[in-house]
Amino acid sequence: MRLHRFLGPFFFDGPQEEIEDLSLVHQIKRVLRLKEGDRIILGNMKGKEATCEIVEIEEFSIKVAIGEMRDIAEQLKEVSLFCSILKGSSMDLVAQKATEVGVSRIVPIVCDRTVKRDIRQDRLKKIIRESSEQSGRGTVPDIFSPISFQEAITSFSGSCMVLFDPLGEKLGPCQQEPSLKEHVGVFVGPEGGFTPEELNLARESLVLVRSLGPLVLRAETAAIIGSYVVLSQ
Return the percentage of the chain with pLDDT > 90, whole number: 85
Question: Mean pLDDT across the stretch 194-223?
Answer: 95
Q: Which domains does the chain have, with CATH numbers?
A: 5-71 (2.40.240.20), 78-232 (3.40.1280.10)
> What does the pLDDT look like over 98-148, one tens digit per residue?
999 999 999 999 999 999 999 999 999 999 999 999 999 989 999 999 999
- What pLDDT sits at residue 47? 87
Please list, in sequence order, all residues whose beta carbon lies within 8 angstroms of the beta carbon of residue 199, skipping any fewer than 6 positions away: 163, 165, 167, 209
> What does the pLDDT look like over 170-186, one tens digit per residue?
887 655 676 777 899 99
User: Mean pLDDT for the chain?
Assistant: 93
- For the purposes of burial, counting CB atoms within 10 Å of the CB of 210, is it exposed (0-12), middle (13-18) or buried (19 or more)? buried
Buried b (16+ CB within 10 A) or exposed e, 40-66: bbbbbbeeebbbbebeebeeeebbbeb
Q: Which one, of 123, 90, 98, 143, lies nearest residue 23 by Cα?
A: 123
Pairing of strands 48-57, 78-84: unpaired
pLDDT-derived band at 50, boundaries 50, 70, 90? very high
Question: Mean pLDDT across the stretch 201-230?
Answer: 95
Asked whether residue 76 carries a pLDDT value surpassing 80, the answer given is no
- What pLDDT sits at residue 21? 93
> What does the pLDDT look like over 148-166, one tens digit per residue?
999 999 999 888 999 999 9
pTM recorded for the entire structure: 0.88
DSSP collapsed to 3 states, the chain: CCCCEEECCCCCCCCEEEECCHHHHHHHHHHCCCCCCCEEEEECCCCEEEEEEEEEECCCCEEEEEEEEEECCCCCCEEEEEEECCCCCHHHHHHHHHHHHCCCEEEEEECCCCCCCCCCHHHHHHHHHHHHHHHCCCCCCEECCCEEHHHHHHHCCCCEEEEEEEEEEECCCCCCCHHHHCEEEEEECCCCCCCHHHHHHHHHCCCEEEECCCCCCCHHHHHHHHHHHHHHC
